[in-house]
Amino acid sequence: MPPMPSQVPFLDLHSQITPLRNELDAAIRRVVDSCGFILGPEVPAFEAEFARACEVEHAIGVDSGTSALVLILRGLDIGPGDEVILQPNTFIATAESISLVGAKPVFADVDLETQQIDPARVAAAITPRTRAVVAVHLFGRTAPLEALQRLARERGIHLIEDACQAHGARFARRPVGSVGIAAAWSFYPGKNLGAFGDAGAVTTRDAVLATAIRQLRDHGQIAKYDHVRIGTNARLDSLQAAVLRVKLPHLESWNAGRRRVAALYDAALRGSEFRLPAPLAAEEDHVYHLYVVRHPRRSAVVHALRDHGIGFGLHYPVPIHQSAAYAFLGLGPGSYPNAELLAEEILSLPMYPELTEAHIEQVCEVMTQAASLSG
Ligand SMILES: *Cc1c(COP(=O)(O)O)cnc(C)c1O
């Protein structure tokens, strides 16, 4: 009997935090010592550094990616009576934010190979009520920004980027988050750039929108107790900003680590029954927030991974239009066939920059064996 192989976690934050532990502790201590917990100097410092990294004029720190999306929509005065187009296979927050401002989410199906929103289907979904389309850089792969931007210009709607899974990705050499009117970012701990709790940001090159969002995140204030609009409390807190400032300089090398892992998966699984992430076109990029494969008999593979202590995920197991939360839209099976098929076949493999070659081999061995037995 060979020795029992070690377990492979889906995500391992310890391996990222340990080498930075002293710097992170010092950053946290700095905030505690200053007691500047709310909008202290760490927040504008992080905003300036993140704006520079995204090659935009404005970054506004907020308390989550969901808040970032809501504030962008509110900043653009999108609300009741308006429609916003998105794909059905994304994290629910993309749709929720639209609902939360009182607008209607309108789905457009995705391309089966790239799993990204299909610009032709977006064009078909536009009505006189459409105000915006959300381009989700799903799994860290860039959305078809060029086609969507052209469409948005031609039809007079906004292009909003949901960059919550794509920190550091570039489309045609432009950083994501700098192409649309604004972009929403999440720094949820498991994202490519993660805080020690909930956190997010909006990036934009539009000074008027930036000012609106800056006010909205802090009770519509322009000065203490001078409330010029009805805002909310959606501020990035100083502790999270301090942690993010330590981590941001490492984003590029972490993304390189993720690409290394993806290339090893590609090599080990090529020629197997698994359908791998589609090759990238010249202008596209991928920072592998998730490495997602497809298999027509996924449950056999899932069982084998479970039996061998290998972590995995399903992103996402239910397309948003088929979730109980959105049942009221009355969009039955067959409404978005590609998204529905993907929900049945997708499987996310362990992915983090420090994942070892031995672990990758172990994952691929279990998968290929399970696939061949299930046939
Ligand atoms: C994580 C995520 C969000 C929401 O971010 P939170 O910080 O968890 O609110 C929105 N959209 C996508 C695509 C995400 O992956």
Would you state the torsion angle of the CA atoms of residues 308, 341, 287, 132, taken in this order, to the nearest 10 degrees? Answer: -150
CA distance 347 to 284: 22
Domain 251-374 is in which class?
A: alpha beta
Q: What span, in angstroms and rounded, lies between the C-alpha atoms of 372 and 201?
A: 44
Cα of 272 from ligand 1 centre, angstroms: 32
Q: How far is the CA of 125 from the centre of ligand 1 (A)?
A: 24
Domain ranges of the chain: 15-108+115-249, 251-374
Q: Does ligand 1 come within 6 angstroms of the Cβ of 122?
A: no
DSSP 218: B
Residue range 97-126, pLDDT digits in tens = 999 999 999 999 999 999 999 999 999 999
pLDDT at 318 over 60: yes
Which amino acid is residue 44, in one-letter code?
P
The response to whether residue 91 sits with its C-beta less than 6 Å from ligand 1 reads yes
For 307-332, what is the mean pLDDT? 97
pLDDT of residue 374: 79
> What value does the mean pLDDT of the chain take?
97
Which residues 6+ apart lie within 8 Å of 296 measured at CB?
Answer: 273, 345
Q: Which residues contact 73 (CB under 8 A, 6 or more apart)?
A: 79, 84, 97, 98, 101, 103, 132, 160
Cβ of 255 below 6 Å from ligand 1: no
Report the pLDDT value the prediction gives residue 372, as an integer from 0 to 100. Answer: 86
> Does residue 89 line the site of ligand 1, with CB under 6 A?
no
User: Is ligand 1 within 6 A of the CB of residue 135?
Assistant: no
pLDDT band at 4 (very low <50, low <70, confident <90, very high): low
Residue 188 Cβ inside 6 Å of ligand 1? The answer reads: yes
pLDDT at 1 over 70: no
**Cβ atoms of 65 and 188 closer than 8 Å:** yes
pLDDT of residue 5: 54
Three-state SS letters, 325-336: HHHHHCCCCCCC
Contact 37, 237 (CB under 8 A): yes
Q: Is the CB of 93 under 6 A from ligand 1?
A: yes
Q: Quick check: 56 and 178 in contact, CB under 8 A?
A: yes
Atom of ligand 1 nearest to the CA of 69: 10
Distance CA(239)–CA(319), nearest Å, equals 35
Position in ligand 1 atom list of the atom nearest CA 138: 13
Round to the nearest angstrom and report the end-to-end CA distance of the chain: 26
Residue-wise pLDDT tens digits, 231-252: 999 999 999 999 999 999 999 9
Which residue type occupies 224?
K
What would be the CATH architecture of the domain defined by 15-108+115-249?
3-Layer(aba) Sandwich (3.40)
65-75 and 93-100 helices, crossing angle to 10°: 40
Q: Is 90 in the pocket of ligand 1 (CB under 6 A)?
A: yes
Q: Is the pLDDT of residue 263 over 60?
A: yes
How far, in Å, is the centroid of ligand 1 from the Cα of 52? 22
Q: pLDDT of 201-211, one tens digit each?
A: 999 999 999 99
Report pLDDT digits (tens) over 114-161: 999 999 999 999 999 999 999 999 999 999 999 999 999 999 999 999
Ligand 1 proximity of 140 Cβ (cutoff 6 Å): no
The answer to whether the predicted template modeling score (pTM) of the entire model surpasses 0.95 is yes
Can you read off the two tokens belonging to residue 258? 């993720």
CB 87 within 8 A of CB 109: yes
